[in-house]
Structure 1
Amino acid sequence: PTNESTDDDDDRKENPDEPWLNDMREQFWFPFLDMLPDESEFDTYLGGKIVLLKAILDKCAEIGDKILLFSRSLYALNYIERFLYYLQKQNEEEYRKECESRRQLRQMLASNGTHDDN
């Protein structure tokens, strides 16, 4: 029995989210999270605080300002970190699509220009 508790303690040290996840699993609403599709993890309309954070991030990006965020919850900070990573990946994909569209537009304009000269 002593070794088992040591193993549990080691697992909690390796995963700092574990204590909060255990507390959350005891809540009545936790089973409902499994009903949500995976895409809804970063759906800003499922949480008002995330909507506010996204609005602040957008405004600060618009004016070139920086943000310093504090929280007493490591679970919340970990979620925000994953959310920011998700936003970064989403922006990179949009930028790639925009660059691809511009490249295609240049090719079309270049090909139309050569056909007009003939």
Structure 2
Amino acid sequence: MTSLLEMIVAVAILAGLVSLAPRAVASSRAGIERIEDTVQAQIVAEAVLSVRQRDAALRTGVRSGTMNGLRWMAESRPYLERQKADADSGAPTLIAIRISVEARPGHVVVLEALAVGASQ
């Protein structure tokens, strides 16, 4: 048989656990939302990179825009500094592409790739 003291302790423990449940749910929901924001930003970065790589006249420089409500910036530059002189001749050069997408304030997803293009 259980004593009154054991019952009070059991009820106190149960009340403590029940009070933690809403905070755990809210924390889990916030984590899921952060992951969703990051995945959406990665999808936008992949889409922008795909468009940039398909561009037959890929040039160095900076472009920016908005896609699916997210701001992005694409920076293209010669992969190696010594290629700048070769690029002036009009020969194809290896271009480093860096796509930055702001997933949420303070969190930026960055995607980097290489492509063949012109430097001007």
State the TM bucket, normalised to the shorter chain: 0.3 to 0.5
TM-score (norm 2): 0.35
Query: Which structure: greater strand fraction?
Result: 2
Which fold has the larger relative contact order, with Cα–Cα distance below 8 Å and residues 6 or more apart in sequence? 2
Query: Which structure: greater helix fraction?
Result: 1
